[in-house]
């Protein structure tokens, strides 16, 4: 059977110039991006240090994987519910001002958590309550942050900036837990919490200094619900975007959530202390950083579809390896491989949305993408934590790896994976997108899914 033309090799590469490590790193010539990148790296590192400390603290207080899952649910559910609304907000008001407010609130909660800890009044209730407040602010921040980064560079440098934004987060994921584990051993849990609170000052100061491009603002007289509905329709009626958000939900539930039960895995599987979750999370981060280096060097030469399949397979191998032995180092290898998968999947899905959706829809599109990520994390962490308590973490992780493998098989068998290589031109023109997908999947265009958008078509005509 002859192969159908691949969007990733024929169409996508004609639309996007080949990227290299040098072209990706050129974005650091833009002062605002360089300053923001540096401050965000340090602050995100502090957040991961705090995650190590708070996970260990909560597990020491409760000795329960279910509590670890519950704390994740309480933190992420508010963010989950608010993220779609925040996406509309990010398309209507200054993204910079939203970030100033959310970063200030999160700094305040960090100092409160440090205060109750050093005051010896900390309890699971305090931890969960503060997590809830952080979840509310994260709901307003997540989509805004993602859609704010492209405003720090010229349009032609947007994709390298998006990749490097993912890289700084994965660098923080690697360095934060490693330093967090060291600081816990030397100065205690409170030092990690304090460092995180102080690190927000860097980002707040940066947000006062930088001057981003003005984002294209959606009509403010439009009702929030109408703006949300139009954003949802734009995304849902374009199959590659719809596929991206569904895959984000799956990978968050079955893959990323493993890191939120690392304290329990450290004690139950590897017979280490709960504080040894730092070594597992650090290995996960090192894997993500390693994948990010490869991604920067490859640029656009590796199609998103292949990147995503490779990432899912890394998750299968990594999650499946963790319960195979009680040797802690093998567990670190499993987390390292899962980290490779995390970055590969995240970059392929993130660049699809950031690189193909016009700016006036970007905040809302990112909000639905992040909605699925935020939905998957509490679902997965609660599911894995509760199942681990009930049937054991060995069996739970093997079932998890099997579910991830099933997703890969379905994607390959149906050919849906190739949809991720759609170009901006194809996403913008629903009819072109429909015929292109039909060609790839050997369908009659008349039988292909119709990604037409009534509301979007009216807006296109008015523009």
pLDDT for 439 equals: 56
Choice among 175-179, 306-310, 382-386, 453-457 with the minimum mean pLDDT = 453-457
Residue 459, judged by CB atoms within 10 A of its CB (0-12, 13-18, 19+), counts as middle
The pLDDT confidence band at residue 299, using thresholds 50, 70 and 90, is low
For the stretch 39-98, pLDDT in tens is: 888 888 888 788 778 877 888 888 776 777 777 778 777 877 777 777 777 777 788 888
d(CA 347, CA 308): 8
Q: How does residue 447 score in pLDDT terms, banded at 50, 70 and 90?
A: very low
- Top-confidence residue, 335 or 46: 335
**pLDDT greater at residue 78 or residue 320:** 320
364 in Cβ contact with 88 (< 8 Å): yes
Q: Which two three-digit tokens encode residue 57?
A: 């603290």
Tokens of 97: 């001002």
Q: CA 365 to CA 447: how far, in whole Å? A: 27
CA distance 284 to 263: 14
pLDDT in tens, 272-298: 877 677 788 878 878 887 887 787 777
For the segment 123-148, the average pLDDT, to the nearest whole number, is: 83
Mean of the per-residue pLDDT values of the chain: 78
402 pLDDT higher than 90:
yes
Give the contacts of 165 (CB within 8 A, at least 6 positions apart): 37, 40, 146, 149
- More confidently predicted of 59 and 106: 106
111 pLDDT tier (thresholds 50, 70, 90): very high
CA distance 274 to 53: 10
Average pLDDT of the residues in 4-29: 46
Residue 192 has pLDDT above 70, yes or no: yes
| 10 three-state secondary structure | helix
CA proximity to 274, closest of 68, 128, 117, 60:
60
pLDDT at residue number 459: 34
Which pLDDT value is given to residue 217? 52
Q: Does the pLDDT of residue 33 top 60, yes or no? A: yes
pLDDT at 314 > cutoff 90:
yes
What is the distance of C-alpha 259 from the center of its chain? Answer: 13
* Alpha carbon distances (Å) from 7 to 85, 147, 227, 428, 438: 33, 25, 31, 15, 12
Task: Please report the pLDDT score of residue 396 as a whole number.
Answer: 94
Burial class (CB within 10 angstroms; exposed 0-12, middle 13-18, buried 19+) of 443: middle
| C-alpha dist (Å) from residue 209 to 157, 202, 216, 318 | 21, 11, 21, 41
The structural domains of the chain, ordered by start, are: 19-212+222-422 (1.20.1250.20)
């Amino acid at each position: 059977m002859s192969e159908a033309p691949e969007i990733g090799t024929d169409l996508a590469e004609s639309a996007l110039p080949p990227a290299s490590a040098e072209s990706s790193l050129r974005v650091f010539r833009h002062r605002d991006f360089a300053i923001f990148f540096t401050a965000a790296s340090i602050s995100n590192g502090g957040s991961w240090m705090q995650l190590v400390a708070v996970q260990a603290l909560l597990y020491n207080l409760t000795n329960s994987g279910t509590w670890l899952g519950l704390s994740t649910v309480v933190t992420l559910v508010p963010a989950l519910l608010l993220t779609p609304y925040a996406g509309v907000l990010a398309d209507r008001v200054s993204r910079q001002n939203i970030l100033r407010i959310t970063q200030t609130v999160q700094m305040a909660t960090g100092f409160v958590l440090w205060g109750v800890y050093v005051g010896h009044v900390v309890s699971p209730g305090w931890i969960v309550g503060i997590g809830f407040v952080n979840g509310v602010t994260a709901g307003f921040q997540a989509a805004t942050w993602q859609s704010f980064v492209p405003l720090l560079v010229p349009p032609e440098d947007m994709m390298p900036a998006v990749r490097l934004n993912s890289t700084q987060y994965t660098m923080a994921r690697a360095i934060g837990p490693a330093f967090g584990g060291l600081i816990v051993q030397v100065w205690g849990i409170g030092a990690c919490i304090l460092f995180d609170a102080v690190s927000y000052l860097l980002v707040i100061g940066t947000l006062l200094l930088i001057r981003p491009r003005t984002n294209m603002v959606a009509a403010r007289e439009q009702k929030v619900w109408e703006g949300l509905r139009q954003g949802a329709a734009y995304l849902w009626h374009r199959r590659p975007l719809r596929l991206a958000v569904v895959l984000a939900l799956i990978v968050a539930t079955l893959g990323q959530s493993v890191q939120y039960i690392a304290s329990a895995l450290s004690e139950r599987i590897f017979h280490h202390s709960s504080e040894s979750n730092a070594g597992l999370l650090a290995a996960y981060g090192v894997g993500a950083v390693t994948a990010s280096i490869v991604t920067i060097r490859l640029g656009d030469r590796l199609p998103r579809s292949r990147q995503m399949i490779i990432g899912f397979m890394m998750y299968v191998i990594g999650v499946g390896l963790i319960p195979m032995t009680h040797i802690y180092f093998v567990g670190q290898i499993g987390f390292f491989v899962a980290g490779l998968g995390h970055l590969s999947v995240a970059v392929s899905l993130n660049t699809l949305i950031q690189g193909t959706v016009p700016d006036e829809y970007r905040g809302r599109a990112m909000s639905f993408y992040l909605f699925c990520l935020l939905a998957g994390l509490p679902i997965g962490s609660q599911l894995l934590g509760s199942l681990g308590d009930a049937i054991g973490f060995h069996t739970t992780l093997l079932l998890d790896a099997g579910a991830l493998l099933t997703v890969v098989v379905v994607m390959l068998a149906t050919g849906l994976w190739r949809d991720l290589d759609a170009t901006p031109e194809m996403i913008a023109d629903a009819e072109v997108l429909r015929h292109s997908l039909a060609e790839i999947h050997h369908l009659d265009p008349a039988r292909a899914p119709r990604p037409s958008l009534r509301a979007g078509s009216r807006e296109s005509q008015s523009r």
